[in-house]
Amino acid sequence: MNADEGEQGELPRFVPDEPFPPYSYVTGRFPHPTRDPAGHSFGVAPLPCALPDPKHWRDSRPYLYGLDLFNHGYYWEAHEAWEGIWHALGRTGTAADFIKGLIKLAAAGVKVREGRPPGVQRHAKRAAELFRKTAGELTAGTDFYFGLSLSQLIATATAFSHGGLVLNAPSGEPVEIVFPFVLLPE
């Protein structure tokens, strides 16, 4: 996780052969991606998601594509990509809690775009709780999970949950990066 990677240069892509949608969904501003015939994913069946291994996260295209989507301002779409993983994990356990934390962080991005600070804080608080729970279930001294620093995720989500970090104001563009950080696994 790095602060303002976008200002230093082009953001990396982890699945460069997977195209981005034409817009990032925001309620009331764009067609619902899957329910509206004009939606960017209408009629597209989600691909089955293989069970990801936290130690071999580089092999999980859905996880990596979720990172691409999140880092490039597609928060609703990142949420959807990670939700498939969460379901594949059975929605319980350490890995599922971690992925659910990412889902909540993406949901906070959606709430920023909707201009709903209480929603941002609520989702960020839940993300921090899930990242803390994940950290508590790992071997002592382990900070990285699925390639990401849990301590950084916890600190960032906690700060957003208290309204302690400045978010980029939504401008109404089809795609907007609203967080001052990117998720870069190591």
Tens digit of pLDDT for each residue in 40-80? 999 888 777 888 999 999 999 999 999 999 999 999 999 99
Contact at 8 Å (CB) between 68 and 17?
no
Q: Which of 163, 166, 135 is nearest to 149 (CA)?
A: 135
Helix, strand, coil fractions of the chain, as percent rounded to 5? 50, 5, 50
Domain ranges across the chain: 2-6+51-182
> How many angstroms separate the CA atoms of 81 and 113, rounded?
19
> How many angstroms separate the CA atoms of 79 and 66, rounded?
7
Report the pLDDT value the prediction gives residue 165, as an integer from 0 to 100.
Answer: 63
> How many angstroms separate the CA atoms of 40 and 49, rounded?
20
User: Looking at the whole model, is its pTM more than 0.85?
Assistant: yes
Q: Which of 106, 148, 150, 107 is nearest to 130 (CA)?
A: 150
User: How confident is the model over 135-145, as pLDDT tens digits?
Assistant: 999 988 899 99
99's tokens: 């992925």
User: How confident is the model over 104-145, as pLDDT tens digits?
Assistant: 999 999 998 888 889 999 999 999 999 999 999 998 889 999
166's tokens: 């400045």
Helical packing angle, 117-137 and 150-161, nearest 10° = 150
Is CATH 1.10.3450.10 what the domain over 2-6+51-182 is classified as, yes or no? yes
Helical packing angle, 117-137 and 94-114, nearest 10° = 160
